[in-house]
């Protein structure tokens, strides 16, 4: 992994602002020591007001500095996340990429908001403090200057070992993340071949290796802290002892002696803190180097891998599948994929006596459910909470395997064929109750539906989802970043972005899981209006509680305690309940 310089991540103006803050802090430190020394030496209270003011101003500057560095760190993380998503198509190791997007970018915080600002402080503050110490007592400043190089020397020696240990730890975490993701992706195959126990042991061994690497890094960090504390304590002692002897002999006045004693630790503190912050941010430094290497690679400029890392039917691997035609009734295998990726042709979905049981529950989540959805038909799934509505969608998505029964797509059963399920999932657009939005731009979040789409197609999809107006009103339009956990957009706006993603994806099958749950009336109306256009001409299942979604369906099917009762047309009254065997 190549070395990385601070300027590769943080722009020069940010360093300049940090330097200004550090200079102000240095001046306040000197003023505080000066005022305190005069108050004690002269036994005067006239300086106490100024001393209190300096302390308050110093605290305010420190708080403002911390807020500035925190905001800068968030902005840099969002920018790196957005750029990484645009390089997603060039990554072959989805587990590594997912680790970078998750704990990797999170590990940058101590480096960006801790180590780099402290590095600037260590360059600015000690020289200012030493100048004032030299004015008060040139012998003390010589002692400090003699001991001061020991701190960076020991820091460099231990830092070399720290970087090696940290990079090893990060490599172990990437390997564990990649392997765990691959195991989850192929879990059904492992179950079929009886290899789940073996893979569980492999994951346990890799986790143990990562734990040992983490403990090794912590041992080095604790050793570093001990060495730095020892050097600083000895240096202050070497300054304090001669000062005391000279005070007794009358060779030094009390006021300058107090200034020296108060400022000596302040000259060493920034370097000691920098060593501590370095170990806290060492993992971020390793991540930053890896991120820079990835960004230097050619990219197809597509964010598809982010959805792949998150799982679900929008994964990049599924989007890239080439689907061929199979005559109805033929068995499905890895070499004979389902013919469901034709975006212009609706699909027939059939469930035959599907039963799903969850461990620890007496009653099945789905009990002998039989249902046929004709091509282009819109079906609303209704029923009380816990009736199995979401489980029904999860069966169609391949998230849950039926314990009994069959799922047929155009008369063909995917069965346990993972490739067949992946190709079927490539024909689905799924909008859950709380769609996942990533910490990147609005544009990249919509383009997860189709990474190769240009801006004009994204705008058309947003317009169809009734999202164009509020997106254009954002500070930077489609380039506006969305914060962690979808911060910056309302629940209704998040649903409309998800609808825009589905419009752009343009699949023959749409599954909606209570898309208006927890929305206000205005947001619900906008989502319903957009969903009408999305469902037109497509095979659709909508889990719905609100009458507006039930009314737009061709018919509704009611689930009660995991069983299907008679469906009805929205225009008709409720039918007499009858359990379908």
Amino acid 326: pLDDT: 29
Closest CA to 225 of 267, 266, 269, 272: 272
Whether the Cβ atoms of residue 109 and residue 80 lie closer than 8 Å to each other: no
Record the pTM. Answer: 0.46
Predicted confidence at residue 161, as pLDDT, reads 64
Q: State the pLDDT confidence band at 173, using cuts at 50, 70 and 90.
A: low
Task: State how far the Cα of 160 lies from the Cα of 116, in Å rounded to an integer.
Answer: 18
Ranges of each domain in the chain: 6-301, 317-568
Residues 6+ apart with CB under 8 A from 59: none
Three-class DSSP category at 568:
strand
Model pLDDT for residues 36-88, shown as the tens digit of each residue: 888 888 777 778 888 899 999 999 998 998 888 888 888 887 777 777 776 65
CA distance 557 to 375: 16
> Any idea of the CA torsion for 258, 261, 265, 266, to the nearest 10 degrees?
30
Which of 253, 337, 297, 304 minimizes the C-alpha distance to 505? Answer: 304
- CA–CA dist 23, 402 (Å, integer): 67
6-301 CATH pick, 3.30.70.60, 3.30.420.40, 1.20.1560.10, 3.90.950.20: 1.20.1560.10
Name the DSSP class of 299: -
Instruction: Output the pLDDT for position 550.
Output: 80
Rounded CA-CA distance 52/367 in Å is 73
Question: Predicted confidence band at 29 (pLDDT cuts at 50, 70, 90)?
Answer: very high
Fold (CATH) for 317-568 = Rossmann fold (3.40.50)
pLDDT top residue among 217 and 374: 374
- In angstroms, the CA 493 to CA 313 distance is 22
CA dist., res. 553 & res. 567, Å (int)? 11
């Amino acid at each position: 992994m190549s070395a990385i310089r601070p300027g590769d991540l943080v722009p020069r103006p940010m360093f300049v602002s940090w330097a200004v803050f550090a200079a102000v802090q240095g001046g306040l430190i000197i003023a505080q020591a000066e005022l305190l020394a005069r108050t004690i030496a002269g036994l005067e209270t006239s300086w106490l007001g100024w001393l209190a003011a300096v302390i308050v101003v110093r605290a305010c500057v420190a708080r403002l500095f911390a807020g500035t560095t925190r905001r800068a760190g968030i902005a840099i993380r969002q920018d790196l996340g957005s750029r990484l998503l645009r390089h997603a198509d060039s990554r072959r190791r989805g587990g590594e990429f997912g680790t970078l997007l998750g704990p990797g970018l999170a590990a940058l915080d101590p480096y960006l908001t801790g180590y780099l600002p402290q590095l600037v402080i260590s360059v600015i503050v000690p020289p200012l403090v030493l100048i004032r110490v030299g004015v008060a007592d040139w012998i003390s400043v010589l002692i400090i200057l003699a001991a001061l190089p020991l701190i960076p020397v020991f820091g460099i020696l231990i830092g070399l070992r720290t970087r090696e240990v940290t990079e090893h730890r990060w490599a172990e975490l990437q390997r564990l993340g990649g392997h765990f993701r691959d195991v989850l992706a192929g879990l059904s195959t492992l179950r079929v071949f009886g290899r789940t126990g073996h893979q569980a042991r492999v994951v346990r061994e890799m986790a143990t290796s990562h734990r040992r690497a983490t403990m090794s890094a912590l041992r080095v960090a604790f050793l570093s802290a001990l060495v730095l504390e020892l050097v600083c304590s000895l240096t202050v002692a070497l300054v304090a002892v001669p000062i005391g002897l000279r005070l007794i002999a009358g060779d030094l006045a009390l006021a300058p002696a107090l200034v020296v004693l108060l400022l000596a630790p302040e000259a060493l503190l920034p370097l000691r803190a920098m060593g501590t912050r370095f170990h806290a941010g060492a993992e971020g430094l390793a991540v930053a180097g890896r991120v820079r290497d990835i960004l230097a690679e050619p990219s197809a400029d597509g964010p598809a891998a982010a959805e792949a890392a998150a799982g679900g039917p929008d994964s990049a691997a599924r989007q890239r599948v080439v689907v061929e035609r199979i005559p109805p009734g033929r068995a499905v295998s890895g070499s004979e994929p389902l013919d469901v990726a034709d975006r212009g042709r609706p699909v027939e979905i059939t469930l035959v006596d599907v039963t799903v049981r969850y461990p620890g529950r007496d009653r099945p989540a789905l009990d002998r459910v039989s249902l046929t959805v004709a091509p282009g038909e819109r079906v609303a799934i209704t029923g009380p909470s816990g009736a199995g509505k979401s489980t029904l969608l999860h069966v169609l998505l391949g998230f849950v395997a039926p314990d009994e029964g069959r799922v047929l797509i155009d008369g063909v059963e995917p069965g346990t064929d993972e490739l067949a399920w992946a190709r079927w999932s490539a024909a689905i657009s799924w909008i859950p109750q709380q769609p996942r939005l990533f910490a990147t731009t609005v544009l990249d979040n919509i383009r997860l539906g189709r990474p190769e789409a240009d801006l004009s197609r994204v705008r058309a999809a947003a317009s169809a989802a009734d999202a164009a107006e509020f997106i254009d009103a954002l500070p930077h339009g489609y380039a506006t970043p969305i914060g962690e956990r979808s911060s910056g957009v309302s629940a209704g706006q998040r649903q409309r972005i998800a609808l825009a993603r589905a419009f752009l994806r343009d699949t023959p099958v749409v599954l909606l899981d209570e898309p208006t749950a927890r929305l206000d009336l205005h947001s619900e109306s906008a989502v319903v209006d957009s969903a009408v256009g999305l469902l037109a001409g497509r095979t659709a299942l909508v889990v719905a509680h609100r009458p507006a979604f039930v009314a737009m369906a061709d018919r509704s099917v009611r689930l009660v305690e995991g069983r299907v009762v008679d469906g009805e047309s929205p225009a008709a009254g409720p039918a007499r309940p009858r359990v379908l065997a």
